[in-house]
């Protein structure tokens, strides 16, 4: 643009040198148009610059996105319950009275007495057993009542064995009365051969079935 302006000025100066009026008029018109063109060009350039600047100002640069990293929430420590101490279990000690009662329990049980084949009289071993039973009735069980059960082996008829069992029960009852046991505390019953203690058909079984048993009533 500067070179164009210089060219116009040189052209004007040459025209003035020639000294013609017509040329001078044309030169003025040309200078005026040139000046207007320059003014328009300058104004347009400034406007473009302002427009560009204003457009640049309108569109701001996007700021970089800031990504916030979530901080992990603090973890509270879980309280641990103290372990309860288990007290050792003391061994159960039975009272001395209970122990003595258990120890004496077999002594309080009545023993059976046994007889020979087809007999109702008391042997010596039967008398010894009856003495122990009488002591229990007199000292340990002074208010107890017992029933004496007479039994036989399976030889012979049922009627004969019922009668034999009754005689055996009566023999034991009479001996207990002689030892001091009251008769009203004693009763008898005969089962004959209906309640054998041992099953069998030999002397080993028969000897166990010829007996008197004592049951608390």
120-131 per-position pLDDT tens digit? 999 999 999 999
Instruction: With respect to residue 99, please indicate whether it lies within any of the assigned structural domains.
Output: no
Instruction: With respect to residue 180, please indicate whether it lies within any of the assigned structural domains.
Output: yes
CA distances from 79 to 10, 47, 76, 98, 153 (A): 101, 75, 9, 50, 80
Boundary residue ending a domain (57, 74, 92): 57
pLDDT score of 113: 97
Residue 164 is part of which domain span?
108-216
Instruction: With respect to residue 65, please indicate whether it lies within any of the assigned structural domains.
Output: no
pTM: 0.52
| 125 and 197 part of one domain | yes
- Average pLDDT of 69-81? 60
Instruction: With respect to residue 96, please indicate whether it lies within any of the assigned structural domains.
Output: no
Q: Per-residue pLDDT tens for 86-145? A: 556 555 555 544 444 443 444 468 999 999 999 999 999 999 999 999 999 999 999 999
| 125 and 185 part of one domain | yes
Lowest pLDDT segment from 5-9, 16-20, 53-57, 159-163: 53-57
Instruction: With respect to residue 195, please indicate whether it lies within any of the assigned structural domains.
Output: yes
| 49 and 132 part of one domain | no
| 127 and 210 part of one domain | yes
Instruction: With respect to residue 87, please indicate whether it lies within any of the assigned structural domains.
Output: no
Domain count across the chain: 2
Boundary residue ending a domain (15, 42, 57): 57
Instruction: With respect to residue 100, please indicate whether it lies within any of the assigned structural domains.
Output: no
Instruction: With respect to residue 95, please indicate whether it lies within any of the assigned structural domains.
Output: no
Give the CATH number of the domain where residue 211 resides.
3.30.1330.60
**Higher confidence at residue 171 or residue 62?**
171
According to the per-residue pLDDT averaged within each range, which of 3-12, 32-41, 62-71, 97-106 is highest? 32-41
């Amino acid at each position: 643009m500067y070179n164009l302006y210089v060219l116009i000025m040189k052209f004007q100066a040459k025209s003035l040198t020639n000294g013609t009026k017509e040329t001078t008029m044309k030169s003025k018109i040309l200078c005026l148009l040139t000046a207007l063109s320059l003014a328009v060009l300058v104004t347009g350039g400034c406007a473009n610059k302002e427009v560009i600047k204003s457009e640049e100002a309108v569109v701001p640069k996007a700021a970089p996105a800031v990504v916030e990293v979530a901080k992990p929430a603090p973890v509270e420590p879980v309280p641990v319950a103290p372990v309860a101490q288990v007290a050792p279990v003391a061994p159960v000690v039975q009272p001395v009275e209970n122990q003595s009662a258990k120890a004496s329990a077999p002594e309080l049980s009545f023993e059976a007495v046994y007889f020979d084949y087809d007999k109702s009289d008391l042997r010596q071993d039967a008398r010894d057993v009856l003495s122990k039973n009488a002591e229990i009735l007199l000292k340990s069980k002074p208010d107890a009542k017992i029933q004496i059960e007479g039994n036989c082996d399976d030889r012979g008829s049922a009627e004969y064995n019922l009668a034999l069992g009754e005689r055996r029960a009566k023999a034991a009852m009479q001996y207990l009365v002689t030892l001091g046991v009251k008769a009203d505390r004693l009763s008898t019953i005969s089962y004959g051969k209906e309640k054998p203690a041992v099953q069998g058909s030999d002397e080993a079984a028969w000897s166990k079935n010829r007996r008197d048993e004592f049951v608390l009533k």
